[in-house]
Amino acid sequence: MKKILSLVLVSALGGVITLSAYKLFLEKEDKVVVESTQTTPTFLPTNNVNTLFNSTNEAPNFTLAAENTVNAVVHVKNVTLSSGQMTFEDLFFGRRSQRAQLGTGSGVIINADGYIITNNHVIKNAHELSVTLNNNKTYNAELVGTDPKTDIALLKIDADEALPYVTFADSDNAKIGEWVLAVGNPFNLTSTVTAGIISAKARDLSGTSAQSFIQTDAAVNPGNSGGALVNTNGELVGINTAISSQTGSYIGYSFAVPSNIARKVIEDIMEYGNVQNGILGIQGGALNSSIAEKIGVDDTEGVYIDSVIENSGADKAGIKKGDIIKEIDNIKVSKFSDLKGHISAKRPNDIVNLKLSRDGDIKTISVTLEKNETFTLPLVGRIKNTNPSDLKKYKAPHGVKIIKLNDEYSEYWKNNGIEEGCIITSINDVKVKSVDDVQSVLRNKSESLRIELINIKGEKERYNFR
């Protein structure tokens, strides 16, 4: 009995020693610190509810817009002929071999009769044109007309049924931040839809204030050229035309011709056979801090008028050099492309209302747009159509008048007796009677430029440039 009790005591004592050793040497001590002070968090708490779309019913839904658009966007195929490398047989028989090249793009049906808008660069130099609808039916297409200046072209197909089409929206009402869809048919695999927002308006990529694009971040690639940019109602806001890229593929920004400009161009082509451009009759540029300081004005937004073209609509309405255009038809004007974009949707004899600043006073003036009678002739400068008094002064039977010499070459011209007001009578041995004649001559490309004009002494002179 004593042995049993001894064993129990020894075992208990060993357990106590073992536990004490563990506690003392092996177990890590967990300290609990309780602070009575309250610290301020270094972040701002936020509601855990999504404030952008408070319910699924408010989330953007593009299905209706897509359904209204995809069947009206087509694949455009352009076959051009180019001269291939000349072989010995070609040289021997005096012939030139030609090979077909294929180009593709997209287009938008704008009425049930088969009229289709696309880009001019999609169908340029076409030998054959065909259009494939979203239902895989293919038709030969007729080129109705083009406008290289706005990069818009109009095609026509004769389908055996009424075609689905897209209606026009007023692109002036499109807002920055508004959701839009880019719809194209780039690979003839039926229409493709991408979504984005309007990033900016009245964008000019040329640097000459000659363009006024809608900028969007919806993905647009080269084969989408000529496709539709539509709002969430499926209405046409623009014609996708260009991308900003160093690789040739979409990287974030694309550009569309506004629907108001595209609509005006194709209506002119259908009614007149060419585009009727109305002009305001001013020259100038956008304001900023440095320019405002240079010309001595306080405004930093708007278009500053540097000169007014003689006998133009602006001249007849009483607009003066130094005026600053702030609005056109109640649309704010911050830069020249704002003004250009609005006027590009107008025709000769249309009336626009300008709100302008003159010596600090705000005035509203109505201007009747007139047909473009001016043109910038390379090396020479700005020219315009003549009137009888211009021709009588220089005893010229016909010609166009120089109204502003090229800044770079003005000293050269003046040293040779050529000043503003002198008359150009022929270009490249073709008599010219109007600005339209000059543009027609220059369209026939030539390696040289030959100009015949009358100097301030009334003498005819010829100049050859190569």
Annotation says 75 is catalytic: no
Sequence-separated contacts (24+) of 246-249 with Cβ below 8 Å: 248/222, 249/221, 249/222
CB atoms within 10 A of CB 28: 4
Q: Which amino acid is at 366?
A: S
Task: Burial-class residue 407 by CB neighbours within 10 Å (0-12, 13-18, 19+).
Answer: exposed
Inter-residue contact 260 to 170 (CB < 8 Å): yes
Tokens representing 313 are: 């609509």
Provide φ and ψ at 338, rounded to 5°: -60, -45
Beta pairing partners, 255: 215, 242
The position carrying tokens 């430029």 is 449
The position carrying tokens 């064993």 is 7
Annotation says 209 is catalytic: no
DSSP assignment string, 124-172: TT-SEEEEE-TTS-EEE-EEEEEETTTTEEEEE---SSPPP--PBP-GG
Helix, strand, or coil here: 412? helix
Q: Which helix (H) or strand (E) holds 258?
A: strand 254-258
Annotation says 398 is catalytic: no
CB atoms within 10 A of CB 129: 23
Q: Which of 75, 106, 121, 344 is catalytic?
A: 121
Q: Which of 106, 199, 225, 426 is catalytic?
A: 225
Q: Which of 75, 106, 147, 151 is catalytic?
A: 151
Give the CA angle between residues 9, 11, 16 to the nearest 5°: 95
- Cβ neighbours of residue 192 under 8 Å, at least 6 residues apart? 183, 184, 185, 186, 224
Inter-residue contact 357 to 342 (CB < 8 Å): no
Helices (DSSP H) in 28-163: which residue ranges?
63-69, 88-93, 120-123
Q: Which of 195, 271, 276 is closest to 230 using CA atoms?
A: 195
373/309 Cα distance (integer angstroms): 10
Maximal CA-CA distance, the chain:
151
Q: Which of 220, 217, 213, 208 is closest to 238 using CA atoms?
A: 213
Active site residues: 121, 151, 225
